[in-house]
Amino acid sequence: MISRFIHNQNLSSSRGLAIDEALCELVSKKSAPPSLHLYNYLPCAIVGRYQNVSACLRLDRCEARGIEVNRRITGGGTVFMTPDQMAFGLVLPNDFPGLPGTIQGAFEFLSCAFANALKQIGLDAGFMGKNDLTVNGKKIAGLAISQDMENVTFFHTSLLLDFDMEAMLDILNLPTERMLDRGVSCFDNRMTTIRKEAGKDITLDQVEKAVHNALKHTLELSLPCEGLSPDEETRVRELMQEKYDNDDWIYGMRTPKRRMCYAEKKTEGGLIQIHLALSGGAIECVLITGDYFSRTRDIAKLESLLKWTPAKRPSIEKKLKHTGAENFIHKVDLPVILDLIDQAIG
**SS3 for 46?**
strand
How many domains does the chain contain in total?
A: 2
236 and 312 in a common domain: no
58 and 36 in a common domain: yes
> What is the percentage of the chain residues whose pLDDT exceeds 70?
94
- From residue 191, give the alpha-carbon distance in Å to each of 29, 141, 145: 38, 9, 20
pLDDT of res. 36: 97
CA-based nearest residue to 62, from 42, 48, 77: 42
Checking if the pLDDT of 224 tops 90, the result is yes
Print the domain residue range for 130.
Answer: 4-252
pLDDT tens for 166-216 read: 898 899 887 544 444 444 555 667 889 999 999 999 999 999 999 999 999
How remote is the C-alpha of 28 from its chain's centroid? 19
pTM of structure: 0.88
- From residue 115, give the alpha-carbon distance in Å to each of 108, 110, 202, 227, 312: 10, 9, 16, 27, 47
- Distance between first and last Cα of the chain: 55
pLDDT of res. 247: 94
* DSSP summary character for residue 25: H
pLDDT of res. 173: 84
pLDDT tens for 11-58 read: 999 999 999 999 999 999 999 999 999 999 999 999 999 998 988 999
**How high does pLDDT run on average in the chain?**
91
The pLDDT of 72-88, averaged and rounded, is 93
293 and 248 in a common domain: no
168 and 91 in a common domain: yes
190 and 269 in a common domain: no
147 and 117 in a common domain: yes
CATH number for the domain harbouring residue 174: 3.30.930.10
Question: 31-52: b or e for each residue (b if 16 or more CB lie within 10 Å)?
Answer: ebbbbbbbbbbbbbbbbbbbbb
114 and 218 in a common domain: yes
pLDDT tens for 226-235 read: 999 999 999 9
CATH number for the domain harbouring residue 324: 3.30.390.50
Among 203, 234, 252, where does a domain finish? 252
Neighbours of 295 (CB within 10 A): 18
Beta strand 270-279 pairing with 282-290: antiparallel
Question: Which of 113-122, 164-173, 245-254 reaches the highest mean pLDDT?
Answer: 113-122
pLDDT tens for 262-289 read: 999 999 999 999 999 999 999 999 999 9
pLDDT of res. 176: 45
pLDDT of res. 207: 94
Checking if the pLDDT of 324 tops 80, the result is yes
